[in-house]
Structure 1
Amino acid sequence: MSTTAFGDFLRFYRSRVPLTQEELAERTGLSTRAISDMERGRTLSPQFRTVQLLVRGLGLPEDEAAEFTALARASRASAAQERPGFPFAAPSSSLPPVLVELTGREVERQVLDGFAEDAASSSRLQIAVVNGAPGAGKTAIAVDAGHRLGARFADGCVFLDLRGTDTEPLSPDRAAHRLLRSFGVDERQIPSDPDDKLSLYRSQLRDRTVLLVLDNAANEAQVRPLLASSPGTLVLVTSRRTLTGLDARHRLALDLLPLDRSVALLRIVAGPERLAEETEAAVRVAELCGGLPLALLIAGHRLASRPQWTVGHLAEQLEDERRRLSVLRAGDLQVRAAFEISYHQLSPGAASLFRRLALIPGPDTSEDVATVLTDLPQEALEELADASLLGIGETPGRYTRHDLLHVFAAERLELDEDPAVAAELRTRLRHWLLDVATRAARFFDHDVPAESAGPVRDKESAARWLELELENWRGALRSAVAAKEHERVLALAQAMHWYSDMHGVGELWREVFGAGADAARWLGNARDAAEQLNYLSWALYALCGQPHEALAVHEEAAAVPIDDTVTEAWTWYYGSAIRRRVGEPEKAVWLGRRSVELFERAGYLIGENLALSLLGLMLRTAGELDEAVEVQQRSVDQHRKVGGDDELLSMLLIRLATSVAATGDVPAALELLDEAESLFREHGTTAGVARVRHHRGLLLMDAGRFDEARDQLLAALDEARLSDQRVEIMARLADLADAAGDAAQAREFRVRALAECDRYDTPAVRTIAAVLAAALG
């Protein structure tokens, strides 16, 4: 049969409708060029999916569709026979076997399926680059794709390892030679001249439709000469490098496997029965392998080859960072060796930065932090990212690394860096992180002026830096504690007081202010020790839900002999809030009044306004509603008069709104909350917005506006910081679900709320827990 028969029938059916080539292209999703090439006989082997799209687009009845499909099949067979002198190899004949079932890459498989579908309907060459860190499983997913998708291409799959990680990768000339042999070209017919060889390769590929897998590419220059134009063909390139210089239509970066998929891969290699007996140890092994498929494969092989070992024994071996990479070795499979190949291919500057990044405490970094460790950090960071030794963070300008690469970097730091230089860098980085964090926190301080320098220039940039670099400055704080750098530790803790009001979680501030209190004791400064103990007691009762532990810390602060009225006032301020939490409202009111009196005596208006506002909460709890509104209104009026900080005003407005609502004036309370939310939004304070929404939701619920209340409480739930807020929000959402007749959702919220109750030790939470438990039966 003539290879043009299919094209003739296509033209006939299209003209019969009638449709232009452009109209048929729009109906089918194929390109106009692809349709033109088929009609002219330039595309001799249309794929099955392409034919099916044409059948639907042309509206062919069943008998004509069957005939049309048969023509396409015959055209493919005839085209293969008519290629003179060079019989093509059997489809997928060059693919390596699949030794381990591909696990945990279901999403990536679907993405590659989409690439293949795009190639089938496109008239231009489709190039897809798959990149990832050493050991991420690039070859495994490419081989899997070859076996699964090769049959979709008329001439099958051709696989070639470009040996990009060898000391001498395949040259384009040698790669073309091997590909020609894969095409079935006789050795004697392959030209010796490199240019002629590449020309023959391109001509052989031009009229074929294949899945061409170029595995383990070294760089763009190695791949470019092999990218011959061939409609319907998909070239799948894998590399440790991102190959940003290639004009690739598709890109797929292989991430590390999440924990559940890591355990699944470990289970397949080691055996399900082996892991079923020690599920917790299996999870720990998977965690210590860091989601790296190569590491999980090796760990599974070690378990499978050592039936005498328990899974827990392997986990214990991996716990030691200094031994971890040595343990992750099975025969010629070595995680360390895979990393070393990429490391030794780096430029000196990038290699230096890579190992020095081991000094950074957190899992990610930025150019600002890298600048402390090396000159020209941006070029080195980009080189490391291109080599897949760093990942690109979700926030622009940030870079991530996985745990095993951190361990490897620490090894190289010890081996390749002068110990004195490493020690100096470690100290320099610790001091820089602590100094910048201290400066950044002072932009939130109402008492100490902030200094604009480095990466922190204003309150907005300071907030962003403190959030993004949290794990790094927190790690620096821990190192400073270990190094007994008491002055720096105390300076950081003091600066964080006002910032902590609306940012961070309880465990962070328990650690920061606890370290501050210890540092103050070491320095023999009683006033600073009492101050830090006050802040610690706040973190314990307000954020950690531990009022009894907070009370013990408060009593320790109250026992410190000091001659400082403001510090004493803060002590009674926090003590008032704690007494309310433990169910002592009368004592809370007495301490609140004492706090207001001391702040007034000291002439510290910020403290006086906050103390008045808090006293109002104590009075409302004690049933003194009129006085509660009076003192809280006074705090707001005084704050407005002097033009104080907007976020402080928002806190005062929320407290006033709750008391106003208790008097029955819900509209006035809602207006106060609207103003508070507007101010919080203006400063990007998400925790403050959540606090407003929480209180607004309660007011709307009490007013019978259930749908609005539900929206507000749901919006507040994820950002709620205070210890008992999440419990109260979920309990109220359960009540709203009951009112809406949604018993399943009500039960879900109650179960979640009851689980949350276990974290907190307050009378209010215990009361809610009892109600929840009763409702759940």
Structure 2
Amino acid sequence: MDDRLADLRFTVLGPVRGRCGADELDLGPPQQRALLAALLLREGRAASAPELVDALWGDDPPARAVGALRTYVSRLRRLLEPGRGSGDAARVLVTVGGGYALRLPDGALDAADFERDLAAAEAARAAGDPAGARELLRTALGRWRGEPLAGVPGPFAETQRARLAERRLTALDRRFALDLELGDHAEIVAELSALVAEHPLRERPRGLLMLALSRSGRQAEALAVYDDARRVLAEELGIEPGPELSGIHARVLVSPGGPGAPAPTAARPAQLPGDVADFTGRAEQVGALCAALRARPRRALPICAVAGAGGVGKTALALHVAHRVRGDHPDGQLYVDLHGAGGDPAEPRTVLGSFLQALGVARDAVPDGLAERAALYRTRLAGRRVLVLLDNARDAEQVRPLLPGDPGCAVLVTSRAKLGGLDAARFIDLDAMEPAESLALLTRIVGDARTGAEPGAAAELLEVCGHLPLAVRIVAARLAARPSWTVASLLRRLDDEDRRLAELRVADLAVEAVFRLAYRQLDDRQRRAFRLLALADGPSVSREAAAALLGTDAFDAEELCESLVDVSLLRSPTAGRYRYHDLVRLYARGRAAADEPAAERAAALRRLLHFCLATARDAHLTLNPGDGRALNTLPPRGRGLGFADQRAARDWLFTEADTLFAAIAQAARDADRSLLPPAADLLLMTDALVDSGLYRHECEQAAYAVIDAAWERRDLRSEGRAHLQLGWVYFYADRIADAAAVCRTALRRGRETGDVWTVGDALGRLGACALMAGRPAEAVRHKEAALAAFRKIGDRYGEANIWAGLGRPLLGAGRAAEAVAAAERGLSLHRALGSGSRIGYALYQSAVVLEGVGRPAEAVARCGEALRVFRGGRNRQWEGLTMVRAAAALLALGSPAEAARVAADAVAVTGEVGYAWGHAQALRVLGRALHDLGDADAARERWTEALRIFQRLNAPETGEVRTLLHGHDGPEGPVTRSASTA
């Protein structure tokens, strides 16, 4: 971590401010501060661009909201990392998918420090150190500097202001309660009086003030506080004080010396098992549950339900929360393990009998019937504040008879099943821990020294455990019991997936046993679905992909998947989409290997691959009607989804991208040779994903999986097609020599197998590589040969692509009139074919040619039309390139200010997608615009950045930019001269 990053500090508990060491940071205008605050308060979690737009502007965003967002991000990056080069990845404000996240060290945000202080105070209180807890609360409250997020606009800031203010009041309540416990009642009367005056409708501070006054011998004043509360609540809200305040009032009347003491005749059960000594993390869930259980509704019983898979830490969370709110339920706590996950769940009648005896009912006075016991149970709890913890429930039916009737009580339920039948105040669907939480748990058990000595191995070990709390506890216990083991040595034992679950066992704790218990409760159809769905390598499956795996329709597949979600064996991150926890998937695959015939496993994966190919082919043809790429694939076995319009097709491709690449690689590795040709064809259907600039790495990995398998099996057709797709991946990664090499291999394989379409596409791509290398004449020869190939098979779409791309090499070869004619012919053909995104490509090529022949106004118009196409298609890479060309044409029109604005946007977009060559082009054009505006220093800075990138890429533009830096650019300027080769 560099010194600057370590010195960054931010405050939101007051005005939003930032410092780097002793230097105050200028955080910019209010909207920029709002963006920073939104990212700071996510504490490292990513936020998508739509989420951030909603956070800043809500339902009324400006027309260029996303553009403004990118501008704010760019400014904040320069502020936070002023020394970062344009080609270097951001380390603080990073891009994550389509959004952003702040990566700051611990201690950089006052709100996070505040929450840590609160958690430490709770731990100290639970450990029997009220004085230490009070000091920690005072430290936490001392971090506040006024109204949180003061002056920051937007709906997110407004919501967070209210949340943070509520957290401060909660901390104050806890501190005052500790003051009372430690006997400092007289000292806090003035503070509590001020708090009551500031928040007259809050009952909790009034109750604390009544206790402080009563214990200070000021009973009349304490009773006057209650009378005032009744008046204010009646006038403002039309309600009476709640049970807590009324209870304090009654106790002050009876016993002013000890108003907190329970009635001596009441049985006060204390059945909670001990809190988990090393409980770690889950701060958000703990806070939500505590708040819900502490709520005092007038009529409704507070019920909280925690659901999750076995081993996810439901009981640990529930016990920890129960101990935190125990003081809010002074009349006792009831606890029972309902054994709902096993084969012998507890009977509600039996549980009620036990509860009634704990509440003081003699054994011979307990009624026999369930209804009678439930009625007596509710009677015994009437007017009392008792916490009921029902652990490991089977379903809502088992829970309902055990619910108190008095809203002064509260109920906390845990279950593997989703208890949707309960009228719960709060549902928590518990998942695996966050990485930082699981690391903290491991460290608390094995010690800082061992995890600190092997941080990489520790992080990898936790990843292998899927951050499942039970698995983390098991590996931690094994390490703690074997001081001579290194973290890396245990990690090696878990490397083998076939042995991993067997290794995750210590004493009576075993991950596999927890999963086995859940599996045994499924019916036959659920078990088959559980096994087959786990076979696919993708991170998740849609309901349609699930239907392909199961060999059923989408509605039946969704019903089965949802039934597995209900028992926490599957997760549903979004509607109609499902995923396993990594360890649950391992168990399911083990069951598939043991219980599912090999032929059925193979058939399931074959159905999935052909479903993906059929649907991707339909999506491609919807986006690009008549494209030979799709028409020259093998006929898929089965039907795809079909799409109503281009937007639906595009959405499906981007949503299913990870599934598609995983299916390709899995099919390539499969021993079934028949899967390789459709896998290679499916790879070709991912070109829209590659063109977007977002999936190069995934496509490269999938392509090599196909190439390796094809080489072993001498499947030359599949090998050629995989090399062809790899060529575009390398081309967009600025590896032009590598792109040319793999395209030459694709060309050879196409000729050897008679795959004319592959021959034509390989020649066209070789032409693009030659153009990028500054050899326009060679590019013309390749593209003319590609034209002949596409004409041979009647592929008009392929012809249109070649004509559109032929104009630029013709222009570079000095054949200007032919260049314009070729580009216009390509655009005309694509318009006639209704080619979707390829119309944008043809418009872009036409714009470059028109600007190169001195027709910049027409070029600007073409760029504007192309931008609309690329933005509609979420094609960020081509969007950035088109803005570069538009800026160059605007310069030629004598509009440097507009050119600078467009070029700056191009710099942001090309940097975001990691397109180095396009980024350098954008910097070069931006530099020229700034130069024309009279800002020579800023121009030189941009050209220096561009030169560094071009030199690294060994690009032909290197000499031109070097000339710019030395002041030798002529009146036409390098931007214009290079337009035909860029």
Same fold (TM over 0.5): yes
Contact persistence 2:612–2:640 (CA under 8 A): no
Aligned 8 A contact 2:223 2:252 in 1 = no
Match of 2:296 among 120, 123, 127: 120
3-state secondary structure, aligned to 2:459: helix
Residues 616 and 685, structure 2, Cα contact 8 Å, conserved in 1: no
Matching residue's letter, 1:342: A
Matched residue, 1:639: 830
Does the 8 A contact of 1:363 with 1:402 survive in 2? no
Aligned CA distance change for structure 1 residues 519 and 414 (closer, same or farther; 3 Å): closer
Q: Are the counterparts in 1 of residues 526 and 564 from structure 2 also a CA contact under 8 Å?
A: yes
The range that moved more, 363-372 or 345-354, is: 363-372
Quick one: which of 453, 478, 483 aligns to 2:639?
453
Cα distance in 2 for residues equivalent to 1:234 and 1:458 = 51
Alpha carbons of structure 1 residues 682 and 420: separation in structure 2 relative to 1, 3 Å: closer
What is the match of residue 285 of structure 2?
A: 108
1:612 to 779, 803, 808: 803
Q: Once structures 1 and 2 are overlaid, which stretch shifts more, 327-336 or 677-686?
A: 677-686
Q: Summarize the alignment of residues 50-449 of structure 1 with structure 2, pairs less than 5 Å apart.
A: 71=252, 81-82=262-263, 85-89=265-269, 93-117=270-294, 119-120=295-296, 122-155=298-331, 157-187=333-363, 189-371=365-547, 372-373=549-550, 376-394=556-574, 396-419=575-598, 421-430=600-609, 432-434=611-613, 436-437=615-616, 441=620, 443=622, 444=624, 446-447=627-628
Deviation at 1:304, TM superposition (A): 0.6
Q: Kindly indicate whether the alpha-carbon contact (under 8 Å) linking 2:293 and 2:411 is maintained by their aligned counterparts in 1.
A: no
Distance 1:383 1:571, change over 3 A: closer
Partner AA of 2:272 in structure 1 = L
What is the TM-score with the length of structure 2 in the denominator? 0.64
* Deviation sequence 1:321-366 (CA, Å, 0-9, x none): 1111111111111111111121112222212221222222223223
- Give the alignment partner of residue 493 of structure 1, picking from 680, 685, 705: 680
> Aligned equivalents of 2:515 and 2:781: distance in 1?
65
In the alignment, which residue of structure 2 is the partner of 1:536?
726
| Residues in 2 aligned to 1:260 and 1:766: alpha-carbon distance in whole angstroms | 45
Aligned to 1:763: 955
2:644 & 2:336 partners in 1: Cα distance?
A: 55
CA distance in 1, matches of 2:767, 2:705: 24
Contact 2:728 2:739 in 1 (8 A): yes
Conserved? CA contact 2:947–2:961, under 8 Å: yes
- The answer to whether the 8 Å contact 1:438/1:492 transfers is no
Distance in 2 of aligned mates of 1:393 and 1:186: 49
**Letter aligned with residue 236 of structure 2:** L
Distance 2:911 2:257 in 1: 60
Preserved contact between residue 724 and residue 765 of structure 1 (Cα < 8 Å)? no
Residues 635 and 179 (structure 1), Cα distance of their counterparts in 2 relative to 1, 3 Å cut? same
Alignment of 1:685-724 (within 5 A): 689=879, 692=882, 703-705=896-898, 706=900, 709-711=903-905, 713-714=907-908, 718=912, 720=913, 724=917
Aligned in 2, Cα 1:108/1:353: closer, same or farther, shift over 3 Å? same
Partner SS for 1:548: helix
Of 457, 480, 502 in structure 1, the residue corresponding to residue 667 of structure 2 is 480
Residue identity matched to 1:446: D
SS at structure 1 position matched to 2:389:
strand
Return the TM-score normalized by structure 1. Answer: 0.79
Residue aligning to 2:737: 548
Distance 1:708 1:255 in 2: 44
Alpha-carbon distance in structure 1 between the residues aligned to 2:281 and 2:428: 15
The residue identity in structure 2 corresponding to 1:95 is L
Q: Which moved more, 1:760-769 or 1:333-342?
A: 760-769
| 2:177 equivalent in structure 1 | none
In structure 2, the partner of 1:36 is 240
Range with greater deviation from structure 2 (338-347 or 551-560): 551-560
| Closer, same or farther: CA 546–223 of 1 in aligned 2, 3 Å | same
Superposed displacement of residue 729, structure 1: 6.3
- Residues 45 and 154 in structure 1, CA contact (< 8 A), matched pair in contact too: no
Structure 1 residue 651 displacement after superposition: 0.8
Q: Which amino acid aligns with 1:400?
A: R
CA distance in 2, matches of 1:324, 1:597: 56
Q: CA deviation at 1:479?
A: 4.0
Query: The residue matched to 1:411 in structure 2 has which SS?
Result: helix
Partner of 1:55: none
2:236 corresponds to which residue?
24
Would you say the 8 A contact 2:877–2:909 is kept in 1? Answer: no
Residue of structure 2 in register with 1:13 after alignment: 228
| CA shift for structure 1 position 703 | 3.0
Q: 1:128 to 1:6 in 2, by over 3 A?
A: farther
Shift of 1:519: 7.5
Matched, 1:507 2:697: yes
Q: CA–CA distance in 1 between the matches of 2:263 and 2:930?
A: 71
Query: Following superposition of structure 1 onto structure 2, how do residues 736-751 of structure 1 map, counting pairs within 5 Å?
Result: none
Separation in 2, partners of 1:624, 1:597 = 20
How many residues are paired up? 724
CA contact under 8 A between 2:381 and 2:406: conserved in structure 1?
yes
Gaps of at least 5 residues in structure 1 are 26-31, 49-67, 772-777
Whole-angstrom distance in 1 between the partners of 2:285 and 2:856: 53
For 1:689 and 1:47, the matched residues in 2 are separated by 66
Q: Partners of 1:132 and 1:146 in 2: how far apart?
A: 18
**Post-superposition shift, 1:285?**
0.6
1:652 counterpart residue number: 842
Per the TM alignment, residue 201 of structure 1 is displaced from its structure 2 partner at its CA by 1.4
- The 1:201/1:610 distance shift into structure 2, 3 A limit, reads same
Superposition deviation, residue 142 in structure 1? 1.1
Give the match's secondary structure for 1:36.
coil
Deviation per CA, 1:121-149: give whole Å up to 9, x if none.
55421211111111111111111112222
Q: CA deviation at 1:668?
A: 3.8
Tell me, what secondary structure is at the counterpart of 1:391? Answer: coil
Letter in 2 for 1:215: D
